[in-house]
Amino acid sequence: MKNIFLVTSAFLLLFTLSVSGQAPEKPHVVILTTGGTIASRSDAPSLEGHALVQAVPQILDYATVNVEEITRTGSSRITPEIWLRLGKRINEIFSQDGTINGIVVTHGTDTMEETAYYLNLVVKDDRPVVMVGSMRSADVISADGPSNLLQAVRVATKEHSKNRGVMIVLNDEINSARDAWKTDNQRVQTFRSIDHGILGYADPDTIIFYRNPSHLHTVNSIFQLDTIEALPEVPIVIDYAGFDGSTIIQWANRHPAGIVVQTFAGGRMSSGALEGIQRATEEGIPIVIASRVPGGRIPGSPSVAGTILARDLPAHKARVLLMVALAETSHKENLTSIFNQY
């Protein structure tokens, strides 16, 4: 049994009791921590999960929280093994406890969109899962972590946050896990859903949603985590002007489960990439073509027979989808259909 600690402040509870005579029922949120800038301080070790949450006592105005540390690492060190563990734990928490209103996951922003999209595909519950991080560490002036964490918890408590897939909350903005890209190296408004737009806002007076995610997710997803022990190897190869295609061929010789090639706008590619992709498809390796351009999608049908188009998914998210999808099928038509729906 995992060790879960209740972080209810006795002082606040007593205060509430003495004012109302009775403790009001607050929503129940589980916070799973993984590290990242939100937990980091420039001259000290990263904050342990409970300390991170205790630093924002305002959370207790909105929810009763349990905190569990999954890992404590910068998100550049997050691995598919951690995705699996995190996804299984979220499904376990939801299936064991119907009283939990939502789950918040604290995470570094560098690979947050990959973890978020992965969870969006494999979480089997319509209750909110909210990813949160920060761009500024805990000890600098105008650190954004405390406010982001508070807003994430508020989003997770809401009934109307249900069935919107996994969300990313930073800078008071709610983005869909599928659509959000980290777009700025430093600014707090880094997550943008380029063509799709935000899902909504965490405003001071309310949590407001403007739209629903446009693609299948969570409860409507076909992907089953229970049977997956490890995710398959899927590298990303980047095309560029003058590319000779050799890295695609080197990868193909290793026979990975699939390869994602990040090409130019519209899925156009160098002659080296074309040659490498043709060789890899002859080997029967599923190849997904993604565009390096954030706006729009790759239209039409693949220019190289036997490949799959990532449409508007960037290469790093196409890789996540391919890794998860390959556990279900390696059939090209099925993979194409999956890439059109998720």
Q: Does 110 bind ligand ASP (CB under 6 A)?
A: yes
Q: Does 36 bind ligand ASP (CB under 6 A)?
A: yes
Q: By beta-carbon distance, which residue lies closest to ligand ASP? A: 108
- Name the one range near ligand ASP by CB under 6 A: 48-56, 69-77, 145-153, 321-329: 69-77
Contact code string over 115-134 relative to ligand ASP, x by CB under 6 A: ------------------x-
Please return the burial class of 299, using the count of CB atoms within 10 Å of its CB with bins 0-12, 13-18 and 19+.
exposed
Which residue carries 């998210």 as its tokens?
A: 317
Question: Which one of residues 31, 93, 135, 199 is an interface residue with ligand ASP (CB under 6 A)?
Answer: 135
Instruction: Look at residues 26, 258, 219, 249 and name the one whose alpha carbon lies nearest to residue 124.
Output: 219
> Closer to ligand ASP at the Cβ: 36 or 245?
36
> Closer to ligand ASP at the Cβ: 35 or 213?
35
* Size of site (CB under 6 A) for ligand ASP: 10
> Closer to ligand ASP at the Cβ: 133 or 276?
133
Structure tokens at 46: 């990263």
Question: Which one of residues 87, 108, 267, 276 is an interface residue with ligand ASP (CB under 6 A)?
Answer: 108
Q: Does 49 bind ligand ASP (CB under 6 A)?
A: no
DSSP state of 27: -
Q: Does 146 bind ligand ASP (CB under 6 A)?
A: no
Question: Which of the residues 37, 64, 106, 111 is marked catalytic?
Answer: 37
Three-state secondary structure readout of 260-302: EEEECHHHCCCHHHHHHHHHHHHCCCCEEEEECCCCCCCCCCC
Q: For this structure, is 336 an active site residue? A: no
Query: Is the Cβ–Cβ distance between 30 and 65 less than 8 Å?
Result: yes
Q: Does 147 bind ligand ASP (CB under 6 A)?
A: no
Kindly tell me the number of DSSP H helices and DSSP E strands found in the chain.
9, 15
Q: How far apart are CA 33 and CA 325, in angstroms?
A: 27
Print burial letters for 260-290: b (CB count within 10 Å at least 16), e (below 16): bbbbeeebebbebbbbbbbebbeeebbbbbb
> Closer to ligand ASP at the Cβ: 73 or 163?
73
Q: Does 37 bind ligand ASP (CB under 6 A)?
A: yes
Which residues lie closer than 8 Å to 5 by C-beta, 6 or more apart? 50, 66, 67, 68
In the complex, the smallest distance separating the C-beta of residue 35 from ligand ASP, rounded to whole angstroms, is: 6
Instruction: Look at residues 238, 235, 136, 254 and name the one whose alpha carbon lies nearest to residue 184.
Output: 136
Question: Which one of residues 26, 55, 57, 74 is an interface residue with ligand ASP (CB under 6 A)?
Answer: 74
Q: Taking CB under 6 A as the criterion, which residues in 153-212 touch ligand ASP?
A: none
Residues labelled as active-site residues: 37
Contacts with ligand ASP by CB under 6 A lie at 36-37, 74-76, 108-110, 133, 135
